[in-house]
Amino acid sequence: MDNASPTGYLRVSVTSGGLAYPVEGAIVMIKDAALGASGVLYSLRTDMSGLTPTVELAAKDASLSETPGNDSPFLLYAVEVMKEGYSRSLINEVQVFEGISATLPVNLVPLGYGAPPYGIGGTA
C-alpha cells in the first residue's frame, strides 16, 4: 500500500456478559467483504483486555462523503470471531472510512454444556 492510497483503522473488542469481562485469546479474522473466505487480510488474537491491535485497512477518498450523490465513501470488510466455548460471531459490512478509527464491539455468548463446541482445533 503506497502512501497516497486512503486508509482507515479498525480494532476489535471482544467481551462477554455485556462488558463484564474481556475474552482473551479469541481469534479475529478480518476479511475483504468482496472476496469472502479467501480474502483473509488479518488473523489476530485478542490480548488480556479482549482487544486486537489496531490494523490499517484500505478505504475510499474521504471527499466522497462531503457532498451527496457520490459513491459510498467507505470500503466494506467482514470480521469473524472465534473462541472455544463461545458462540462464533460473524459481522458483515464493517465500514472503513479514510482517516477514521473504529472499534468493533463483539459480545460472545458462552455455550452451555452439551452444546456443540465450536472447534478451533490445533490452535492451542
CB of 31 to other proteins, least distance (A): 14
| Of residues 9 and 39, the one with the C-beta less far from other proteins | 9
CB of 8 to other proteins, least distance (A): 9
Nearest to 112 by CA among 85, 82, 84: 85
What residues line the site for other proteins (CB under 8 A)? 10, 13, 16-22, 24, 47-51, 62, 65-69, 73, 85-86, 89, 91, 93-95, 97-107, 109-115
Nearest to 79 by CA among 24, 40, 48, 124: 40
| Of residues 18 and 121, the one with the C-beta less far from other proteins | 18
Point out which residues pair with 29 in neighbouring strands: 43, 80
Q: CA-to-CA distance for 9 and 103, rounded, in angstroms?
A: 9
